[in-house]
């Protein structure tokens, strides 16, 4: 059966759900009242695999306890022959001969011997290292038929099997439960199939360990998804910094550049250097260009100030974009005849315009039809590419802040606008490019009815839609007057815009653009006589009716602008009065209100400048804006190519500051004695805390047994729910260590590092093995210390081995200090823990 989506489940799905429900019991042996217990299912699974010659099998479980419980559930199963039992017994005896007699009778060893004798075993981090090696060797020799293991078995051991079974597909990653990543699944499933022995490897997903059945999308992602993107795990540590600073000929910046975190940035450096060289040439040409004359004689300084205000306003407009586009009152205000402030992406200026009506959405732009405009409107001081469309309008790509969110994009409208335009050199190029794109879309034979440039199939589909909905359009009308009439009752052909011209001595352009390009809605509305003539002209702009309508509308816009200028007085620029978004559109969210206030202030300042009313400003505006754009991009590239752009350089400087405050580094960043001691300590969770404990004399006041027990708090990395019972001297030392760790965290936080003192103490200090280590150092047998904690035997062994390494490092630190007492203390502590099963030699070593 497949995966069911929607409606009642099929019979197979219902059965699977019933099985899954019965499996959600308390354990593998539970459920006499359920459908089948997990123990019964395990026995049946192994039986089927045996009959089908699909053994050996590796069953992946994602917890150590689950591995053990599943193995115990097969206590009645025996998969080994008599000869195999004898061979396993002899092999295990030889391997364990290196242990003391008492250690050979540890509960874990006795339990594993019984399992392996019957062809069953477990493999996880909780096993003693010697027993993990025994299991691996017997599995590779074919004596283990069923192995319950964690994912570590798939990572470091080359032990393929015939069949792989997943007990679950969800695992805990240290923070929460999640599905296996495609790479994790592939790594484990890849164990199925032994080279030279099996033609096919089998993978089964039984998933008794999960509470719910999986959906098709989760399984598809896990089975066929792409691999996880590689991310740099390079982290700065204090020991690393000190060791680097001890090498005079090595720059830390060079080392940071070689990390994988900087790989992409360093690979792009040659291209960035070439771009910077080209920008320098463009900047030199822009600086040498003569200053263009303007109608009102605006100076370079005035235009510089004006451009700076425009760029600030563009940033604020981008921040307010989503709030305005999704506002119902804002959209309702954009009716024919409404004056607006249009952010023209071609020349970068804000120009008054009147809404003519709604425009159809444009077809997809042709890849080849693009026009790079150095004066395109940026939102975060970046110039993008303006792409013209055969149906009119200009869309600007590559501009930070101009891309609406999905909700804003769905609410956006496209409008025909008549703009009171300040002409410039880019106008003719812009219009010519749009005309070329329209012709490319229409192809041979012209555009015909509907959207120009569609294929014949697209045209037929559009014709069918037009005929289907033409009656609805007639009944409902074109809201706001947009769209006009047209012959045949269908929608008119879209206007071939942009169109630039001059009527009644007033320069204008007709565009089709989205409402996100409207940066202000004015209070004024003008009467539009003959707007239908404009919208239905089909590109014939020279008819008397169209010219009269354009002239009347343009005179209305100009008259309103002049009235605003006169009302502002001789000292002001006369910004058109606008609707207040806070009052008229009821926009009152916390993020938008400050931005609206700042925008109103900047608009008033801009309106008071002479360039704001200078009709000949375009060339000077573009010259200044282009130069500023080039300067910003040049500064950005210089930063990217410098050491200051290294991601971890700020953290490096912060950590250096901490080391200087603690006396590990001198003012000239030379390493002091304290810093050299810190360089020797690498096996602890926090080298600063360990070094401070040494110099504070905290370890020197303890016996070897107490000192190594205290040191275990900085070495052990797992959690324990058992509170250790410690002697008074060790209790006081632990409290002092906690206080020292907290003070180090506070110091690092004050230096700017993202460290929370309480969380840092919980991450660095783990005191769960202090009693275990203390008793072990006093000579207590291993079988007795395992009763003092809930930590598994394998974890105890790993912690002890790391602890011995830390003791040796502290001996080296004592040599650097010349501290004989500390050296002898750590030497005695190391000797106290280095014995018996914990330090048994590896079976892989001859």
Within this chain, do residues 556 and 691 fall inside the same structural domain, yes or no?
Answer: no
Within this chain, do residues 330 and 199 fall inside the same structural domain, yes or no?
Answer: no
Within this chain, do residues 686 and 583 fall inside the same structural domain, yes or no?
Answer: no
- 361 domain-assigned: yes
Nearest CA to 185 among 211, 146, 212, 214?
214
Q: Which of residues 536, 567, 587 is at a domain's end?
A: 587
- 283 domain-assigned: no
pLDDT number for residue 336:
95
In the structure, what pLDDT confidence band is assigned to residue 364 with cuts at 50, 70 and 90?
low
Within this chain, do residues 376 and 492 fall inside the same structural domain, yes or no?
Answer: yes
pLDDT in tens, 263-304: 888 888 899 999 999 999 999 998 888 999 888 899 999 999
Higher pLDDT, 463 or 635: 635
Q: Is the pLDDT of residue 126 over 90?
A: yes
171 to each of 151, 174, 684, how far by Cα in Å? 10, 9, 28
Tally of domains in the chain: 3
**Which residues are within 8 A (CB) of 326 and not within 5 positions of it... i.e. 6 or more apart?**
407, 408, 411
pLDDT number for residue 209:
61
The answer to which of 166-180, 465-479, 533-547, 739-753 has the lowest mean pLDDT is 465-479
pLDDT number for residue 22:
40
Within this chain, do residues 576 and 690 fall inside the same structural domain, yes or no?
Answer: no
In order, the DSSP letters of 500-552 are EEEETTEEEEEEEEEGGGEEEEEEEE---TTHHHHHTSTT-TTSHHHHHHHHH
CATH number of the CATH domain containing 697:
1.10.3380.30
Q: How far apart are CA 797 and CA 809, in angstroms?
A: 19
Within this chain, do residues 220 and 324 fall inside the same structural domain, yes or no?
Answer: no
- 390 domain-assigned: yes
The answer to which of 124-138, 287-301, 437-451 has the lowest mean pLDDT is 437-451
pLDDT number for residue 511:
93
In the structure, what pLDDT confidence band is assigned to residue 666 with cuts at 50, 70 and 90?
very high
- 647 domain-assigned: no
CATH number of the CATH domain containing 156:
3.40.50.300
Q: Is the pLDDT of residue 393 over 60?
A: no
For residue 32, what are the domain limits? 11-224
Q: Is residue 406 classed exposed, middle or buried when 0-12, 13-18 and 19+ CB atoms within 10 A define those classes?
A: exposed
Q: Is residue 410 classed exposed, middle or buried when 0-12, 13-18 and 19+ CB atoms within 10 A define those classes?
A: exposed
Within this chain, do residues 686 and 544 fall inside the same structural domain, yes or no?
Answer: no
Q: How far apart are CA 252 and CA 242, in angstroms?
A: 10
State residue 120 phi and psi, 5-degree precision. -125, 150
- 269 domain-assigned: no
pLDDT number for residue 363:
66
pLDDT in tens, 814-824: 999 999 999 99
Query: Do 438 and 362 touch, CB atoms closer than 8 A?
Result: no
pLDDT in tens, 243-272: 999 987 788 888 888 888 888 888 888 999
pLDDT in tens, 139-178: 999 999 999 999 888 876 778 889 999 998 888 887 888 8
- 640 domain-assigned: no
Q: Is the pLDDT of residue 14 over 80?
A: no
pLDDT number for residue 482:
42
Q: Which of residues 572, 587, 602 is at a domain's end?
A: 587
Q: Give me the helices (H) in 142-194, please.
A: 152-156, 182-189
- Cα angle: 155, vertex 160, 165; to 5 degrees: 85
The answer to which of 293-302, 427-436, 506-515, 790-799 has the lowest mean pLDDT is 427-436
Helix axes 770-777, 820-833, angle to 10 degrees: 90
Nearest CA to 398 among 416, 417, 373, 415?
373
Q: How far apart are CA 408 and CA 137, in angstroms?
A: 62
Within this chain, do residues 434 and 548 fall inside the same structural domain, yes or no?
Answer: yes
The answer to which of 45-49, 66-70, 425-429, 677-681 has the lowest mean pLDDT is 425-429
pLDDT number for residue 455:
42
Q: Is the pLDDT of residue 540 over 50?
A: yes
Q: Is the pLDDT of residue 495 over 50?
A: yes
- 280 domain-assigned: no
Q: Which of residues 566, 587, 608 is at a domain's end?
A: 587
Long-range contacts of 749-755 (CB under 8 A, 24+ apart): 751/654, 751/655, 751/657, 751/658, 751/661, 752/654, 752/657, 753/651, 753/654, 753/655, 753/658
Within this chain, do residues 178 and 324 fall inside the same structural domain, yes or no?
Answer: no
Q: What are the b/e assignments for 504-532, b being 16+ CB within 10 Å?
A: eebbbbbbbbbbbbbbbbbebbbebebbb
Query: Do 414 and 334 touch, CB atoms closer than 8 A?
Result: no
- 65 domain-assigned: yes
């Amino acid at each position: 059966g497949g995966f069911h989506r929607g409606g009642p489940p099929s019979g197979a799905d219902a059965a699977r759900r019933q099985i899954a429900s019965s499996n959600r019991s308390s354990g593998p042996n539970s459920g006499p009242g359920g459908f089948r217990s997990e123990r019964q299912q395990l026995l049946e699974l192994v039986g089927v695999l045996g009959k089908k010659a699909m053994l050996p099998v590796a069953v992946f479980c994602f917890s150590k306890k689950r591995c053990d419980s599943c193995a115990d559930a097969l206590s009645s199963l025996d998969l080994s022959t008599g000869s195999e039992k004898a061979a396993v017994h002899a092999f295990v005896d030889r391997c364990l001969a290196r242990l003391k007699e008492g250690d050979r009778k540890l509960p874990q060893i006795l339990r594993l011997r019984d399992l392996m004798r019957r062809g069953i075993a477990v493999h996880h981090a909780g096993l003693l290292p010697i027993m993990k090696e025994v299991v691996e060797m017997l599995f590779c020799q074919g004596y283990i038929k069923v192995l319950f293991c964690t994912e570590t078995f798939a990572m470091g051991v080359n032990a393929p099997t015939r069949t792989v079974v997943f007990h679950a597909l969800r695992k805990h990653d240290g923070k929460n439960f999640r599905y296996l990543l495609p790479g994790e699944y592939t790594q484990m499933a890849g164990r199925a199939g032994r080279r030279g022995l099996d033609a096919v490897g089998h993978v089964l997903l039984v998933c008794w360990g999960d509470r719910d059945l999986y959906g098709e999308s989760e399984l598809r992602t896990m089975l066929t998804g792409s691999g996880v993107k590689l991310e740099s795990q390079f982290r700065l540590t204090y020991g690393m910094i000190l060791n680097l600073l001890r090498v005079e000929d090595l720059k830390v910046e060079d080392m940071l550049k070689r990390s994988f975190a900087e790989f992409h940035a360093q690979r792009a450096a040659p291209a960035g250097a070439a771009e910077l060289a080209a920008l320098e040439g463009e900047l030199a040409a822009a600086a040498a260009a003569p200053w263009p004359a303007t109608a009102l004689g605006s100076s370079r300084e005035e235009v510089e100030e004006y451009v700076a205000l425009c760029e600030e306003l563009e940033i604020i407009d981008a921040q307010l974009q989503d709030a305005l586009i999704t506002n119902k009152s804002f959209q309702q205000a954009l009716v024919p005849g409404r004056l607006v402030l249009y952010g023209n992406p071609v020349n970068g200026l804000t120009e008054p315009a009147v809404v003519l009506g709604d425009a159809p959405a444009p077809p997809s732009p042709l890849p080849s039809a693009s026009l790079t405009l150095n004066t395109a409107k940026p939102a975060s001081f970046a110039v993008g590419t303006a792409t013209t469309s055969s149906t009119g309008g200009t869309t600007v790509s590559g501009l930070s802040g101009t891309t609406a969110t999905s909700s804003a994009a769905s609410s956006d409208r496209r409008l025909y606008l008549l703009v009171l335009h300040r002409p410039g050199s880019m106008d003719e190029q812009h219009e010519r490019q749009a005309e070329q794109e329209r012709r490319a879309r229409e192809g041979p034979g012209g555009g015909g009815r509907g959207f120009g440039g569609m294929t014949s199939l697209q045209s037929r589909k559009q014709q069918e839609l037009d005929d289907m909905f033409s009656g609805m359009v007639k009944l409902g009308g074109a809201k706001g007057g947009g769209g006009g009439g047209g012959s045949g009752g269908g929608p008119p052909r879209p206007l071939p815009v942009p169109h630039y011209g001059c009527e009644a001595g007033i320069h204008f352009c007709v565009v089709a653009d989205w409402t996100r390009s409207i940066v202000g809605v004015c209070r004024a509305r003008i009467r539009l006589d003959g707007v239908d003539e404009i919208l239905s002209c089909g590109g014939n702009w020279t008819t008397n009716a169209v010219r009269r309508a354009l002239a009347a509308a343009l005179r209305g816009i100009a008259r309103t602008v002049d009235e605003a200028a006169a009302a502002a007085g001789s000292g002001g620029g006369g910004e058109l009065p606008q609707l207040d978004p806070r009052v008229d559109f009821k926009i009152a969210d916390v993020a938008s209100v400050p931005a609206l206030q700042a925008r109103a202030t900047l608009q008033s300042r801009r309106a008071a400048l002479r360039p704001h009313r200078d009709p000949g400003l375009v060339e000077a505006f573009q010259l200044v804006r282009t130069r500023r754009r080039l300067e910003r991009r040049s500064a950005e590239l210089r930063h990217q190519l410098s050491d200051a752009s290294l991601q971890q350089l700020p953290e490096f400087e912060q950590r250096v500051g901490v080391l200087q405050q603690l006396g590990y580094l001198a003012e000239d960043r030379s390493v002091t004695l304290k810093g050299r001691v810190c360089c020797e300590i690498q096996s602890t969770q926090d080298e600063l805390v360990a070094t401070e404990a040494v110099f504070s004399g905290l370890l020197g006041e303890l016996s070897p047994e107490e000192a190594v027990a205290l040191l275990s708090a900085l070495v052990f990395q797992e959690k324990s729910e058992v509170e250790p019972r410690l002697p008074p001297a060790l209790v006081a030392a632990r409290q002092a260590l906690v206080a020292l760790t907290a003070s180090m965290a506070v110091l690092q936080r004050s230096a700017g590092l993202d460290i929370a003192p309480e969380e840092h103490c919980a991450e660095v200090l783990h005191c769960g093995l202090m009693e275990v280590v203390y008793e072990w150092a006093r000579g207590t047998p291993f079988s007795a210390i395992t009763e003092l904690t809930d930590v598994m035997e394998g974890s105890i062994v790993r912690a002890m081995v790391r602890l011995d390494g830390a003791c040796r490092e502290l001996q080296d630190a004592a040599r650097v200090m010349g501290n004989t007492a500390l050296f002898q203390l750590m030497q005695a502590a190391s000797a106290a823990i280095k014995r018996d099963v914990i330090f048994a030699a590896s079976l892989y070593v001859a």
